[in-house]
């Protein structure tokens, strides 16, 4: 954490009890499939190790990351739970992945060969049992994954490798959040066709199969298989607007309360000045104040993840329990907020960028709507120089393997 995070009056509040609740609700929805908590990208900006612990305590059976380095962070944090690496590790990272007990995803022959070499170097298949790996199939996302034809050949080679254990076969959905689209059903059909081809070729069955992300777990029951991989929903946000009513139905079905946003983003006002109507503030002097008001300076800017577009998009901040619009262009380290004269705003007042204050609320979805993006991007872009505070008191005890 940069030194600035020690003294700066700005912070994220991460509610670990909300993580536990969300994990429990998602595990109930998916059951009997198990829940894999996706904690890549610093747990979507919420802080990897505390969130991983809370998710496991709430009902997740394992974790998933995008990078070997993220798995290293979990192990360094004392977490011995199963960890799936969702992308094929680079050849020079495979040794560390297997040595730490991470489960790499494979989808190329080079990746398979790197995994075999690393496993042999660790004595797998000889002095110790084979090490688990999984194969990812591209059924239409077209990002990474083996094509259906290549998957059959890859699994055949994997099945013949005594150093490796063919633990899983999986795929990833492109539009599961679009409940009205038929494409997710098509992806499930393509995945099933690959499974049938593998069986017809006489190849062994993997110990598990999985396909569902958050949207799949909620809205596509046929995709739940043995495991669901939940990311954004774990943090309290629906994967998309079409999923919202389905999520409500599924929560009611299992008797669970609504998902709770885990993150709040707050700061202390550092300065308040009064300006007349028509005054123009900040870089570019882009717009006049509509009325005489108090202008509060909040110590967060685009270097922290507050997009410059938030001003143009009509963004607001909560101060004194009121929605107060931005008063000028967002700068690197600070932003300006127009507060009514009657608010009596003062330095030291709490400002809320994401979260609740009084009877008002600003959500990551609102930010996303104003910026033309998704809530995933809003929460993951919050910079590491904003310190994280955990509302659940002392971080939970170490998760056992």
Q: Please answer whether residues 205 and 23 qualify as being in contact, where contact means their C-beta atoms are separated by less than 8 angstroms.
A: no
Q: How many residues does the chain have?
A: 401
What's the Cα-to-Cα distance from 285 to each of 189, 299, 329, 334, rounded to whole Å? 55, 19, 8, 15
**What's the Rg (C-alpha) of the chain?**
24
- Rounded to an integer, what distance in angstroms lies between the CA atom of residue 234 and that of residue 26? 8
Coil, helix or strand at residue 48? helix
DSSP 329-395: ---SS-EEEEE-GGG---TT-EEEEEEEETTEEE-HHHHHHHHTS-HHHHHHTS-TTS-EEETTSSP
DSSP state string for 2-41: -THHHH-SEEEEE-HHHHHHHHHHHHHHHTTSEEEEE-HH
Sequential DSSP letters for 67-121: SHHHHHHHHHTT--S-EEESSPPPGGGHHHHHHTTEEEEE-SHHHHHHHHHHHHH
User: What residues are labeled active site?
Assistant: 40, 283
Strand 350-357 relative to strand 360-362, pairing:
antiparallel
């Amino acid at each position: 954490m940069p030194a600035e995070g020690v003294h700066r009056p700005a912070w994220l509040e991460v509610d670990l009890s909300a993580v536990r609740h969300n994990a429990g609700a998602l595990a109930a929805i998916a059951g009997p499939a198990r829940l894999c908590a996706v904690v890549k990208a610093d747990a979507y900006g919420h802080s990897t190790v505390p969130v991983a612990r809370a998710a496991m305590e709430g009902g997740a059976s394992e974790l998933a990351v995008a990078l070997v380095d993220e798995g290293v962070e979990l192990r360094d944090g004392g977490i011995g739970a199963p960890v799936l690496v969702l992308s094929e590790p680079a050849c020079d990272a495979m040794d560390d992945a297997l040595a730490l007990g991470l489960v790499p995803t494979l989808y190329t022959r080079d990746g398979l060969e790197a995994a075999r070499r690393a496993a042999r170097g660790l004595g797998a298949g000889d002095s110790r049992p084979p090490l688990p790996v999984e194969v990812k199939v591209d059924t239409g996302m077209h990002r990474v994954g083996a094509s259906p034809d290549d998957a059959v050949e890859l699994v055949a080679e994997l099945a013949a490798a005594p150093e490796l254990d063919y633990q899983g076969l999986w795929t990833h959905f492109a539009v599961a959040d679009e409940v009205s689209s038929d494409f997710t059903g098509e992806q499930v059909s393509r995945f099933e066709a690959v499974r049938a081809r593998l069986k017809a070729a006489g190849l062994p069955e993997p110990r598990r199969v999985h396909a569902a992300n958050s949207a799949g777990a909620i809205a596509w029951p046929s995709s739940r298989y043995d495991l669901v991989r939940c990311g954004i929903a774990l943090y309290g946000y629906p994967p998309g607007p079409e999923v919202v009513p389905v999520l409500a139905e599924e929560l009611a079905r299992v008797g669970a309360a609504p998902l709770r946003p885990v993150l709040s983003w707050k700061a202390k006002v550092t300065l308040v000045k009064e300006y007349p109507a028509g005054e123009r503030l900040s870089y570019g002097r882009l717009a006049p104040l509509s009325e005489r008001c108090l202008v509060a300076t909040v110590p967060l800017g685009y270097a922290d993840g507050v997009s410059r577009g938030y001003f143009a998009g009509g963004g607001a901040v909560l101060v004194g329990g009121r929605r107060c619009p931005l008063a000028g262009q967002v700068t690197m380290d600070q932003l300006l907020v127009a507060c009514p004269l009657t608010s009596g705003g003062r330095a030291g007042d709490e400002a809320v960028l994401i979260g609740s204050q009084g009877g008002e609320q600003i959500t990551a979805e609102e930010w996303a709507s104003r910026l033309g993006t998704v809530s995933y991007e809003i929460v993951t872009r919050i910079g590491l120089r904003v310190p994280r505070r955990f509302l659940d008191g002392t971080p939970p005890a170490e998760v056992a393997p």
